[in-house]
Amino acid sequence: MTFPKQIRNLIEAFERLPGVGGKTAARLTFYLLHVPDEEINRLGNAVLNLKKDIYYCSICKNISDKEVCEICSDPARDKGLICIVESPLDVFSLEATGKYKGLYHVLHGVIDPLHNMGPEELYIDSLMEHIADSGKRIEEIILALNPTMEGEATAMYLKNKIRNSNFEIRISRLGMGMPTGGDIQYADETTLQQALAGRRDYE
């Protein structure tokens, strides 16, 4: 037995989402069949409008509804500190700790040759511009990349790139406490606070 085409289409669309398997995709689809039309419309419109008026901040590449994001334009933030992360979700998690007052730079990925992600696919050039434009104001760069093989390779690449550019900047990494293979976006606030407070020089 095969499902009607509309149902198959939606199941396939859900299956392409990260972390959604075939069974979950089917369950979500059949759940939506019973949902009132107005709720379906709300969901459909939210998906359709998702990318409208969403920008990457021209400075830090975090998602924003303005050209320069709230964090970069906040005069109270410490402009001497840049925390480099893989994804906007990591910014969200670090902001939830309430302990970090510096700026961010979002790479939108990590170096991952198996998935054809090289340094040129990431926002590394704009990071170097961000650093150069800040002149001598930047005192420290925190490499807050996930403790995965790709995260390690990216941290190493960035450290060498920054060192070779002759910027006199302290480079640090998040401290212990981050579980190996664990993602920043899934770490709880206390773990992240400790990882920030216990950050160490990356030589």
Judged by the rule CB under 5 A, the positions of this chain that interact with Zn ion are 57, 59-60, 62, 69, 72
Helix (H) or strand (E) holding 47: helix 37-48
Helix (H, G, I), strand (E, B) or coil at 98: coil
How many other CB atoms are found less than 10 A from the CB of residue 97?
18
For Zn ion, the closer CB: 72 or 85 = 72
For Zn ion, the closer CB: 85 or 178 = 85
As measured in angstroms, the least distance from the Cβ of 88 to Zn ion is: 10
As measured in angstroms, the least distance from the Cβ of 60 to Zn ion is: 3
As measured in angstroms, the least distance from the Cβ of 147 to Zn ion is: 25
How many other CB atoms are found less than 10 A from the CB of residue 184?
24
For Zn ion, the closer CB: 11 or 91 = 91
For Zn ion, the closer CB: 58 or 148 = 58
As measured in angstroms, the least distance from the Cβ of 68 to Zn ion is: 6
Gap between the Cα atoms of 158 and 161, Å rounded: 5
Gap between the Cα atoms of 189 and 1, Å rounded: 48
